[in-house]
Structure 1
Amino acid sequence: MEELIEEILRFPPHDPALLVHAALVCKQWCRLVLGAGFQRRFREFHRTPPMLGFLYSSLSYCSKPKPKFVRIAASCPPIAHLSHCWMVIDARHGRVQLAEPEKNALVIWDPITDHQRRLPFPKQPSQSLVTWSAAVLCTAHGSCDHLDCHNSSRSSFLVVFACSCTSETIICTYSSDTATWSRWSDSIYTHQQSSGYVQPFMPRALVGNALYFGFYQRGRIMILKYELESHEQSAIDLPPLLENGTIDVHIITLDGGLGLATQRESKLYMWSRKDGLLGVDAGWTQTRVIDLQMMFRSNATLTLRPDVAGVADDIGVIFLRTRTDDSATTYTFDLRPIR
């Protein structure tokens, strides 16, 4: 019975080559594995997609930044179409967002199908551009389970572009359905009633119908919240212990809500923020402290403490970079088992 065969073929998702092997067993299994229904149920069963590799921008003193792909799963094929001078900006819902700064253009790329879509930066306001940040997401972000929203008939996406000028921070959006940028939003003001600057290198996080960017104002790191439905903007303070602008802050999602991963010396601090009763803001709560030095205590050649290099927000993974006397190594730290 095909129902029983499906139970057998629910292989761990981190090794997709097993499905290819199963498809070679017989015609029935091949037809089953290639069927859209089985693939859909396979994704629904495993829910969180596996991380087959990660992209990062390689920087050096003598060359421009170029994206590189590092394979984690042995069955993941290498990605060779990364020869342009692109910068890795964001990735979400099966798409990767890159930028060509010299051409003031963004590239939305599906790494599975290799389909690319280039779009120019939105027309800048009359003021001088200081910093910018952008995020890509599925157009149906509020009603989609994102299991296959980057495929065929539901391939529409949305780009949110946050831009800080000399006296204000404004946001506009690009829809692939209309192939146009929306008008610029109203300025973002905090309770100090002065402008700040969006942080281009801080991770972006999508929680519900809100997108969060890093924000910097008067020597302090903050979080810029953008409501996708109402287009309203607001600024959120960090926990009082983290208001020092020199601390390393990464915006993440924790248990379906907004979270922070911050590093102070060799310890990683996890913070979460959720609404209380009747939607009242309950503020920040420190949920966990992880001693990074203890995680690498068996590595006798480690000369410097491990540092947080980035996050893969959709799957709850933090990248840690360590250095020895003659090399650097990147580790992945999965947050899900410890939640």
Structure 2
Amino acid sequence: MPPPPPPPEELEEEVLLRFPPLEPALLVRASLVCKRWRRLVRSPGFWRRFRELHRTPSMLGFLGNIMFGLEGVVADLMGAQPARQSACFVPTADGFRLPDADIRLCRGLDARHGRVLLQRRGVPGSFLMVWDLITGDKHQVPSPLVQHDMVRWTAAVLCAAGGRCDHLRCHRGPFLVVCAGYVSGEAVICTYSSDAGTWSDPIATEQPLQCLNLMPSVLVGNALYFGCLASKTFLKYDLESHEMSVNRLPFTYCLWRLVVLDSGLGLATVHESKLCLWKKTGPEVDAGWTEDRVIELETLLPSDAFLTSPDVVGFADGIDVIFLRAGSVLYTIDTKTDKVKKVYEGERFNSVIPYMSFFAPALGSISTGEGPGVGASST
């Protein structure tokens, strides 16, 4: 009996399209099966359909800000920014490695839409750097003048197109950097546009803001939110109206992080060996908060994780993953499945910033034209 005919190429492509983005090396291995599969996987049309089908990219790794010595530990407990910080990158996807660069003199600030934002301390001063980890492209952004007056500050990076973009392939387009900080008792925000190459005039709110550490931002709809550690307040900046406000939290928790829950603003904290998730509800002016979920950590983490109190140090939007630090060990917790994974052990991180993107090693030079060794788009 003759062998059955090969399946139609359209059916083979449908199978390959459903490979998980979290394991990019699987597509590389599939491309080695036969010339037909290699041609499919290397085609630009395949990657366009792959992005459109999966929509949410994978977490390829994360930036961790390292605290040094007792100074860093005390600063973390007091909600201040340690004077000595260093960033490192930890890959989490098979086959992905950081492009050659020394980021030991950097502080990780944000990552979004295929870019990371770093504060690089150089001579004679510091500046911001926007970096595409897929292509290796770097853009140096001058520090805003108002930053010299800011006692505490942070910044966010995002696609300049906002809601007009699906963010599946915008990492080479124009971007915005939003700098938020504290000046003379007021919250201040200014914005840098890569198209204009300049910073906007700063805007301020008359609502008082204590001099405390600002955490990495959360994007919900058209608004950026910056949590103010230990002050029970957070900043909201509307990207369309360019208005800002200071909002208070009805909680007594000292260590918490803003997260995204069901496409809305949420909060995560550890209280008495439980991971507590709260969701913002009600009208914007007098919005309330309701407890969304409580995850018992004692049944998920090893017993030695509670030798020091675990803390929430980061959040990956789109895949509902929370980063939990227990001593010098870092775990991820999937809030939908309660699955726990140990992802790092060594340095003590005070904040973790995930990097999300589509990626396939050793395919990009032909399939996307984005450089050797990569094949992707980011969001």
Q: TM-score normalised to the size of structure 2? A: 0.76
Q: Does 1:164 align with 2:178?
A: no
* 1:304 CA displacement: 3.2
Q: Provide Cα deviations, 1:243-282, integer angstroms capped at 9, x if missing partner.
A: x3x6111011110011111222322211111445xx7754
- Offset from partner CA, 1:111-159 (integer Å, 9 cap, x none): 111111111111128x8321111100111121222122114xxx21111
Are the equivalent residues in 1 in contact too, given 2:99–2:136 (CA < 8 A)? no
**Counterpart position of 1:14:** 22
RMSD (Å), alpha carbons: 2.5
**Unpaired runs of 5+ in structure 1?**
none
Partner residue in 1 for 2:361: none
In structure 1, what is the equivalent of residue 232 of structure 2?
221
Structure 1 residues 269 and 79: alpha-carbon distance in aligned structure 2, compared to 1, 3 A threshold? same
Report if aligned partners of 1:69, 1:79 keep a CA contact under 8 Å in 2.
no
What is the CA distance between 1:86 and its match in structure 2? 0.6
Q: Distance in 2 between matches of 1:275 and 1:37?
A: 43
Q: Structure 2 vs 1, CA of residues 223 and 64 (structure 1 numbering), >3 Å: closer, same or farther?
A: closer
Counterpart among 22, 47, 67 of residue 55 in structure 2: 47
Conserved? CA contact 1:188–1:195, under 8 Å:
no
1:109 to 122, 125, 131: 131
Kindly indicate whether residue 96 of structure 2 is the aligned counterpart of residue 96 of structure 1: no
State yes or no: 1:254 paired with 2:261.
Answer: yes
1:65-102 deviations in Å (ceiling 9; x for gaps): 32212222232235542344011111111110000245
Q: Deviations along 1:209-259, whole A, 9 cap, x unmatched? A: 00001237xx73211110000001112221x2x1x3x61110111100111
1:268: which partner in 2? 275
> Which amino acid counterpart does residue 105 of structure 2 have in structure 1?
C
CA contact (8 A) 2:160 2:176 kept: yes
* 1:196–1:268 CA distance, 2 compared to 1 (3 A): same
What residue number does 2:5 align with? none
Aligned to 1:118: 140
2:294 to 286, 289, 293: 289
Distance between the aligned counterparts of 1:56 and 1:315, measured in 2? 18
Counterpart of 2:213 in structure 1: which amino acid?
Answer: Q
> Residue 168 of structure 1: CA displacement?
2.0
Q: Distance in 2 between matches of 1:301 and 1:86?
A: 29
Cα deviation per residue 1:261-308 (whole Å; 9 max; x = unaligned)? 1222322211111445xx7754211111112222125x4686334322
Letter in 1 for 2:175: F
Following TM superposition, the consecutive aligned residue runs of length 4 or more in structure 1 with deviations greater than 6 angstroms are: none
Matched residues, percent identical? Answer: 47
Give the TM-score, by structure 1 length: 0.84
The alpha-carbon distance between structure 1 residues 221 and 128, as it changes in their structure 2 partners (threshold 3 A), is same
Aligned length: 316
Give the aligned residue type for 2:96: C
SS of 1:214's partner is strand
Superposition deviation, residue 337 in structure 1:
3.5
Structure 2 equivalent of residue 210 of structure 1 = 223
Deviations 1:37-68 (A, max 9, x none): 21121122222211222111223249953221
For structure 2, the residue ranges without an aligned partner over 5 or more in a row are 1-7, 72-82, 339-379
Distance (whole Å) between structure 2 residues aligned to residue 211 and residue 199 of structure 1: 16
